[in-house]
Chains A and B, each alone.
Chain A
Amino acid sequence: MSRRKITPGKMLTNFSLWLFAILWLLPFIALVVMSVKPYTEVILYGWWTLGGNYSLKNYVEVLTNPSYNFLAGLKNSFLISSISTIIPVLFAAMTAYSLTYLYFKYKTLLFIFILFFMSVPQQMVVIPLFNLYAKTGLYDTFIGIILLHSAWGTPWIAFFLRNYFKMIPQSFVEAARVDGASEAEIFFKVLLPVSIPALVAASAVQFTWVWGDFFYAMVFLPTPANYVVTQRLALLKGQYHIDWGLLSAGAILAMLPPLLMYLALKKYYVRGFIGWGIKG
């Protein structure tokens, strides 16, 4: 676009868009303010008054009170989300490699199935897996839910990485083949290094997704000691009385890891999310 003169109309658009952005951000601002104020003050004067007492008491309470056990939830979430990111990214890269560079029958069929798996709702798998897990001892274990998340993440990442691999010039791989490199060598030494942006994008989104999962966790991790952070947060809400001070401190702690990842990797992240799209 060519730069034109600043007209009143343009200034008005600018102004209204910024106003819109601030309105959009307002719930987050409120959450932050509430988390550092005693709830009694928020109730009396509202979070929009800036005076009053500020403290990190809510955070300390959420993290140290053994009945909330938030720290354990964060730890479990970190463990599950990290491993449930590494496995499917590797599996998906292998699948995408096969779809792009190997020759075999039913390739298109496999691709269609992968697209189909991407759109299946989570509700469609829990009943049989619940029985299977009960029989095999995977129920209520981290391994059980990690395997499920890994399988669940593989299709969309495979689709995403395949699109990326398609953009890499074929001559890249062909040249390595002519030089006599094995497929495994090509995959690890030629393809993966040039695909790092895509691998980062997919990892960031998959981590966020597993971190935010609530449904699978509720079904497959019923023991409080195994609760992930989303379960801890839902529990913090309480049935009738809501202490928004505690709750907003908890909410901020629970959203911090994906948020930091988003801020650090913004460009990759948005790219990954566009590929994530129809994920169940």
Chain B
Amino acid sequence: MRKQDFKDLLMFLGAPLLTLAIFVVYPIVATIVISFTKGGLSFTLENYREVLLETIPLKALVVANPEPYPPWGALVHNAVWILIAVPAVVFLGMLLAYALRKTLGSSFILGIIFLGMVLPGVVSGLIIRFMFDADIGIFPRIFALFSIPILSRTWTIYPQSALFALILGSVWLWLGFSVTLYSAGLDSIPPSLIEAALVDGASEREIFIKIIVPQLKPVTIVVALMTIMWILKIFDIVYVVTGGGPGGSSTVLALIMYTYFASALEYNKAAAVAVMLAVLTLIPAYWYIKMILGSEKQ
């Protein structure tokens, strides 16, 4: 390597890489070390064992609950969240993006749906809290019209409904991202494909299912992966709306980590939860990174 090249590299990469080393790389490595030690420096799995076997609902990752509603433990809550919100965001996003193509003022509607992405998490949380409030919220009032008492009270303060209020709220927030990605994806489908199908006498529905959905598959994968990662890391809205309550019925992994860290001051256990969270996030991230690197080679 020429001396000049090295100087250039140092000038361009020196400061950024040093900052990354101190504030990202070092703490990641240290967190892993902390999670496998206790007091001394000898290797132990004790933190992971204790965290996984914890039974206090506000800290538990898995709860054996005989009732058909939460608390089920943070790990299960995150999983339920993913199972409900990801299909909803994918399905609604694709359908809306497709329908919006022929709608008057579609960019305005897109703009409105996107608003949720712009909000600070704390504000979104407050809006969710109020949408499900018995006195002033929209949802409980609608269910009151149908006289369903369990859903016409404040959703966020009962274990039967708190988690589901958060999940529905998160769909409201995240849909903008999905619709935007799908709209961009739709623009890249060659119109000739659709015109040819129209000439062959295909119906709207057939075109959507046989052409649009398969053509949008790469977008669907990206939307699904990012939504999963977002749900795994979710913290703000849960903290503000329910704080994980009532009775631990709406805890999530990131919140459990914070509870160990800030309330219990059990740093080793907090680190263990953080590592588990990071490993779970890495599964969709790995897939996504592979996709990016794959498209680089082409």
A79 within 8 A of B: no
Q: Give per-residue flags for B102-116: 1 if the beta carbon is below 8 A from chain A beta carbons, else 0.
A: 111110110111110
Given A147-B23, A214-B239, check contact A102 B12 (CB 8 Å). Answer: yes
Q: Give per-residue flags for B26-40: 1 if the beta carbon is below 8 A from chain A beta carbons, else 0.
A: 111011001000000
A94 to B275, CA, bound (A): 30
| Cβ B257 vs Cβ A104 within 8 A | no
Tell me how far the C-beta of A14 lies from the nearest C-beta in chain B, rounded to whole angstroms. 5
User: For this complex, into which size category does the number of interface residues on chain B fall?
Assistant: 35 or more
B181 within 8 A of A: yes
Q: Give per-residue flags for B239-278: 1 if the beta carbon is below 8 A from chain A beta carbons, else 0.
A: 1100000000000001001100110000100110111011
Tell me how far the C-beta of A207 lies from the nearest C-beta in chain B, rounded to whole angstroms. 11
Q: Which of A112, A120, A132 contacts B281 (CB 8 A)?
A: A120
- Number of A-B residue pairs having CB atoms within 8 Å of each other in the complex: 255
Chain B residue nearest to A119 in the complex (CB)? B285
A151 to B27, CA, bound (A): 12
Chain B residue contacts of A169, Cβ below 8 A: none
Chain B residue nearest to A253 in the complex (CB)? B123
A25 within 8 A of B: yes
| Cβ A102 vs Cβ B8 within 8 A | yes
Given A150-B19, A152-B24, check contact A98 B12 (CB 8 Å). Answer: yes
Given A214-B122, A273-B177, A274-B181, check contact A124 B27 (CB 8 Å). Answer: yes
Q: Give per-residue flags for A228-257: 1 if the beta carbon is below 8 A from chain B beta carbons, else 0.
A: 011001100100000010011001001100
| Cβ A218 vs Cβ B262 within 8 A | yes
B81 within 8 A of A: no
A170 within 8 A of B: no
Interface residues of B in 63-82 (CB under 8 A from A): none
A residues lining the B interface (CB < 8 Å): 1, 10, 13-14, 17-18, 20-21, 24-28, 30-31, 34, 42-43, 46-47, 91-92, 94-95, 97-98, 102-104, 112, 115-129, 132, 147-148, 150-152, 154-155, 158, 183-184, 187, 208, 211-215, 218-219, 229-230, 233-234, 237, 244, 247-248, 251, 254-255, 258-259, 262, 266, 269-270, 273-274, 277-278, 280
B residues lining the A interface (CB < 8 Å): 1, 5, 8-9, 11-13, 15-17, 19-20, 22-24, 26-28, 30-31, 34, 96, 99-106, 108-109, 111-115, 117-123, 126-127, 130-131, 133, 135-136, 138, 172, 175, 177, 180-181, 184, 191, 222, 225-226, 229, 232-233, 235-236, 239-240, 254, 257-258, 261-262, 267, 270-271, 273-275, 277-278, 281-282, 284-285, 288-289, 292-293
* A-B pairs with beta carbons under 8 Å apart, 6 shown: A13-B103, A115-B288, A215-B235, A234-B239, A244-B130, A251-B123
Known contacts A17-B99, A152-B24, A247-B126; can you find 17 more A-B pairs with CB under 8 A? A27-B130, A34-B136, A102-B9, A102-B12, A104-B1, A115-B292, A122-B235, A125-B24, A126-B261, A155-B24, A214-B240, A215-B254, A219-B261, A244-B136, A258-B118, A262-B115, A270-B180
